[in-house]
Structure 1
Amino acid sequence: MSDAKISEFDRATALRRRQPGVHDALLDEGWAVGHAVNGGYLLSILARALGADLPHPDPFTISAHYLTASLPGPATVRTELARAGRTLATGSASLWQTDDTGTEVERVRVLATYGELDQLTEDVRTSAKPPHFPPPQECFSPRDNPAGSAANPAMTDRLDLRLDSATVGWALGEPSGSGEMRAWFSFADGRDADALSLLTTVDALPPAAFELGVTGWLPTVELTAHVRARPAPGPLRVALSTRNMAGGFLEEDCEVWDSEDRLVAQARQLARPR
């Protein structure tokens, strides 16, 4: 496949195996939010390394602790197998970068369990319901930002986000107080979603806390994502909510629904407003 046919996401999460359990990565500045690269994007990179090294290909659950801010540039991912079974395998991975003093610094550490999504039973019993909001053409995109497109994070240029107008009061200086954010999610270059990219999707929207009136940078302390199914082609619907900010920390829950109304991913993260 020529580079022209490789999606921007796949190029930005590509790895080069240096030796067993060690991969070289290049963190792309196009996936930055402010000075640091996005936590969901980092999670996809670490998950790609684990998928290459574990005996099962698909992330079922992955928990990341963000130790220091990851910056655009070279990085090293190291993986370790903890246990391999017939249907599930568990491993850990860490992402490292060299700082200005030449010291290697650990940025992210994850623990994950992998399996094979195509072998899951089709039996679904759920009380969860997909979010309902206007179609994409009636929602707001980052290009509608009153502050101008230059005020948007670099990452938004890689995506086609369409935000539910009921959850963008914060952009007009009038947060609703609901603590909710909803949007349609697609890649700008038309790439379909898969299990790996869902790990970016769960951390791609503006924080739901913006609708609580919280402003500024909200770095993630810990993020756990569950991949429930391989998504069908087409745009995804993402719903975020946060109910409690206390002691200088807040939680954010995420649901991702595909074009066939299936809940394909869930996540919860703990963030610390700055």
Structure 2
Amino acid sequence: MAEATSIPAAAPASIGDSEFDRDTAVTRREPGVYDIELSAGWTIINAVNGGYLLAVLGRALADALPHSDPFTVSAHYLTASHPGPAVIRTDTARAGRTLSTGQASLFQYDEEGREVERIRVLASYGDLDALPDDVRTTAKPPALPPLEQCFGPQDAPDHRPVPGSSAISDRLFLKLDPSTLGWALGQPSGKGEMRSWFGLADGRDADPFSLLLAVDALPPTAFELGLSGWVPTVELTVHVRARPAPGPLRVSITTRNLAGGFLEEDAEVWDSEDRLVAQSRQLARARLS
């Protein structure tokens, strides 16, 4: 089991009453239609983070479907989302006894007032608390140094790997494994790995929706491959395997193949009880020049 640690916070926020909950809350305008103001607090460079967007759409689907917990969520990112008003439209594909499936799209308006689809999601929902306890796995949690031996954005040099907003880093508790931080010192390892302790900065414990954020919140593995510039997501699929226990998470992300200007990122998220609570794979575009 992971060493007992906690995220430092004077008065930890609770699930349902935190900045993350407020910034991902959607307002139902009518059945299947939701409004939200995308917060500038979850931006990187000039765009809204893809994991935050996944959590936003996840909340809309949780309201629209008869089941409340995301099991699998697949998203295609069509255009970059920006802070400001957005509308989400959902549609129920099937409502079964143990699983329900729906789709959702998020739209914003361009400078000419035309509606533009930003992201489209297909997801299946169920009840995580109803799953059996039987676990048979060869997966092992990542070996991370203790928190005090890891480094976060506040410990970084003055230079940034990419220009623009890094507002999201103020809302996250990240402590990265030093062995995956060569890029920050100008000495990338070339291994395509990133590992970190993860949580929300206000101390809120993780839930299935923050897991959707966690898989896309670390610096891209492309940095350790020696590339600079951000890595926009093309497609991201997340599997939520269990409701996480209280305490910081451990996130491990690897890239094995960069070819044709695209790379994959495989992520695992482990909770404080050494359970694999989420997995993901994304395809991203690598900017080679």
CA positional deviation for 1:51: 0.3
Cα distance in 1 for partners of 2:38, 2:164 equals 21
Aligned to 1:146: 157
Partner of 1:56: 67
Secondary structure of the equivalent of 1:271? Answer: strand
Shift of 1:154: 0.8
TM-score by structure 2 length? 0.92
* 1:218 maps onto 2:255 in alignment: no
Is the contact between residue 188 and residue 225 of structure 2 (CA under 8 Å) also seen in structure 1? yes
In the comparison of the two structures, how many residue pairs are matched? Answer: 271
* CA shift digits 1:141-189 (9 cap, x unpaired): 1011112589771100001100000000001110001110000001110
CA distance in 2, matches of 1:190, 1:35: 26
Pick from 14, 21, 24 the counterpart of residue 25 of structure 2. 14
TM-superposed deviation, 1:273: 1.5
User: Would the aligned equivalents of 2:71 and 2:123 in 1 still touch at CA under 8 Å?
Assistant: yes
Could you tell me whether the CA contact under 8 Å between 1:40 and 1:200 is conserved in 2? yes
Q: Report Cα offsets for 1:32-54 as digits up to 9, x if no partner.
A: 01100000000000000000010
Give 1:126's aligned residue: 137
Establish whether residue 235 from structure 1 lines up as the match of residue 266 from structure 2: no
Alignment-derived partner of residue 46 in structure 2: 35
State the one-letter code of the partner of 2:178.
S
Structure 1 residue matching 2:63: 3-state secondary structure: helix
Greater relative CO (CA pairs within 8 A, separation 6+): 2
Contact residue 141 and residue 274 of structure 2 kept, 8 A: yes
1:195-274 superposed matches below 5 A: 195-274=208-287
Contact kept in structure 2, 1:142 and 1:152, CA below 8 Å: no
Query: 1:163 aligns to what?
Result: 176
Summarize the Cα distance change of 1:144–1:152 in structure 2 as closer, same or farther, 3 Å threshold. Answer: farther
Aligned mates of 2:259, 2:180 — CA distance in 1: 22
Identity, % of aligned positions: 69
Distance 1:272 1:98 in 2: 24
Q: TM-score, normalising length from structure 1?
A: 0.97
* Unpaired stretches in structure 2, ≥5 consecutive residues: 1-12
Match of 1:180 among 193, 206, 224: 193
Question: What is the identity, as a one-letter code, of the residue corresponding to 2:56?
Answer: I
Letter in 2 for 1:133: L
Unmatched 5+ residue regions in structure 1? none
Contact 1:225 1:268 in 2 (8 A): yes
Change in Cα spacing, 1:151 to 1:32, as seen in structure 2 (3 Å) is closer
Contact (CA 8 Å) 2:267, 2:281: kept in 1 or not? yes
Structure 2: distance between partners of 1:253 and 1:131: 13
